[in-house]
Structure 1
Amino acid sequence: MIRDGDCVAIFHSIHRVMKAEKVLKGQGFPILLIPAPRALHADCGLAIRYASADRDAVEEVLAAEGLLPEEIHVKQGEQYLKIG
């Protein structure tokens, strides 16, 4: 479900993650709402997965909407490295 190099955005509210999903899909981004990986702590249990190539554009849209995630991680092998 999550490929190497994919970004995973963690939100601490189900409302924020759902709003972020709606905004990003409305902008045409190929994002996916996923269960938060067990290796990452997410209060709401959900995360948004997107390609690292879209990272700057995704974060720009989320910032404009006041919906920046609490944490962003990139998958590398079996690990998730915190970025940003």
Structure 2
Amino acid sequence: MKGEMKIRRLFSKGSEKYKEGDFRGLLVYPSTSDVILAEKILKGEGYKVRVVGPPPHLRTGCDLVIEFPLIEQLGIERILKEKGRIPLKVIPISDEILEPIDLCQKKDFGDYLMIRAANMKLVIDKRTEQIVNISGGGCPDVPYLAEMLIGRNLKETPSPKDLGHTICAYALHIAYEEMLKEVD
């Protein structure tokens, strides 16, 4: 198992986005917290996965699914079963109708940079890397997240995923990770 992990990690370095022609699948869960826990398990095991928005006809009340390399399906399902995180569905992406929705968008406003992930927006001052605004969502923890993050340097703040427990906190975490990539 350890050797398999080292080999998988060796070949899974780099972007979590997939190239055209890669065979991918989606793991569908009933809730955001299930998606977050499954993603943490799989990344901890060295799998190259990413959280995306599901195609409209696959929504289950949770607006997130996990995209994964289809060639890894058996190993992924085995690990998730061992950890008690079995998905509702495992679906191969076989046509454009099943294409997942990328959650992040970037907008440059000169001195300010905004990353939007789902309905959450994170804005920094590019010169100081200070967080100047957080907005969107509608979850009860958004004001708390804003209070904890606005006015602080991006690289010195805790991850929003560690501060909140809703889909808004998770979406803000995705924006936060993308923003960290932008400023490096």
User: Shorter-chain-normalised TM-score: which range?
Assistant: 0.7 to 0.9
Unaligned runs of 5+ in 1: none
**Match of residue 14 from structure 1:** 32
Within 5 A, what are the aligned runs for 1:1-84? 5-80=23-98
Root-mean-square deviation (Å): 1.7
TM-score (norm 2): 0.40
In 2: Cα distance, 1:31 partner to 1:75 partner: 14
Q: Which has the higher helix share?
A: 2
Equivalent position amino acid for 1:76 in 2: S
The question of whether the paired residues in 1 share the 8 Å contact of 2:35 and 2:66 is answered with yes
The question of whether the paired residues in 1 share the 8 Å contact of 2:55 and 2:97 is answered with no
Spell out, residue by residue over 1:29-77, the C-alpha distance to the aligned partner (whole angstroms, 9 max, x if none).
0000111122312211100000111000000000001001001111112
Equivalent position amino acid for 1:61 in 2: I
Matched length: 80
Give structure 1 regions of 4+ aligned residues with deviation exceeding 2 angstroms.
Answer: 1-5
Q: Which has the higher strand share?
A: 1
In 1: Cα distance, 2:72 partner to 2:97 partner: 20
In 1: Cα distance, 2:85 partner to 2:48 partner: 18
TM-score (norm 1): 0.84
In 1: Cα distance, 2:61 partner to 2:94 partner: 23
In 1: Cα distance, 2:57 partner to 2:69 partner: 19
Which of the pair has more CA radius of gyration? 2
Unaligned runs of 5+ in 2: 1-16, 99-184
